[in-house]
Amino acid sequence: MEYKYKGREKEYFKEYRKNNKEKFKKYREAKKEYYEEYQKKYQKKYYQENKNKLNKQARQYQSKNKEKIRKQHREYYLKNKKRKYEQSRRWVLDNPQKTLAHRQTYNAIQKGFLVKQSCEICGSTLNIEAHHPDYNKPLNIIWLCRDCHKLLHKTIKIKKEGNCEFIKSKIIIYK
């Protein structure tokens, strides 16, 4: 008997899968957990090995497609407005001390008791934010630009006493 799929193995397997859907479905379900675990493990490993490359690609994509990304975010927000509101309300209820500190800071700025200053790390005057090292002292604020503030929260180490340690080009300890 002559092999009718000679040189066309892909077509043979495609037809075989089509004719044996149930068999493949059972096989996939049996191996599903194994493949999910395998995929997670190797995706994580790949990301760790290529983190800088992947982050660079992501930044390039984001800079080239700002309007597209902004539009997607806006659509997502409008689609999930109620859910986002609920998340926000839950955060406020779960973090009363932080909420109080943020409100007191906002009110002090509005009334003129506090004036935004330049970033204490880099000296920038753009996108200045207030950082609270201790929420028990809501008007004890460190003024940081958005970039330094993000970096601070990435590298911050909260100690048992509540001190913060920030590392950039120099070490600053807030007590």
- Establish if 10 belongs to a structural domain: no
Range of the domain at 169: 80-174
Helix, coil or strand: residue 33: helix
pTM, 2 dp: 0.53
> Cα–Cα distances in Å, from 2 out to 5, 6, 14, 59?
9, 9, 19, 56
- Establish if 6 belongs to a structural domain: no
- Establish if 67 belongs to a structural domain: no
- Establish if 133 belongs to a structural domain: yes
Residue 99 burial (CB count, 10 A): 14
- Cβ-contact 129, 151 below 8 angstroms: no
- Establish if 97 belongs to a structural domain: yes
Mean of per-residue pLDDT scores for the chain: 82
- Establish if 105 belongs to a structural domain: yes
What is the tens place of the pLDDT at every residue in 15-48? Answer: 888 888 888 788 878 888 888 888 888 888 888 8
Written as six digits, the tokens of 24 are 């493949």
pLDDT of residue 6: 64
What is the tens place of the pLDDT at every residue in 48-65? Answer: 889 889 999 999 999 999
pLDDT of residue 20: 84
Sorted by sequence, the CB contacts under 8 Å of residue 171 that are 6+ apart come out as 165
Can you tell me the distance from the alpha carbon of 129 to that of 157, in angstroms, rounded to the nearest whole number? 20
Number of compact structural domains in the chain: 1
Helix (H) or strand (E) holding 143: strand 142-145
How is the chain split among helix, strand and coil, in percent rounded to 5?
Answer: 60, 10, 30
- Establish if 24 belongs to a structural domain: no
- Establish if 19 belongs to a structural domain: no
pLDDT of residue 104: 93
From the list 143, 141, 145, 133, the residue with the least C-alpha distance to 174 is 133
> Cα–Cα distances in Å, from 102 out to 136, 137, 157?
11, 11, 21
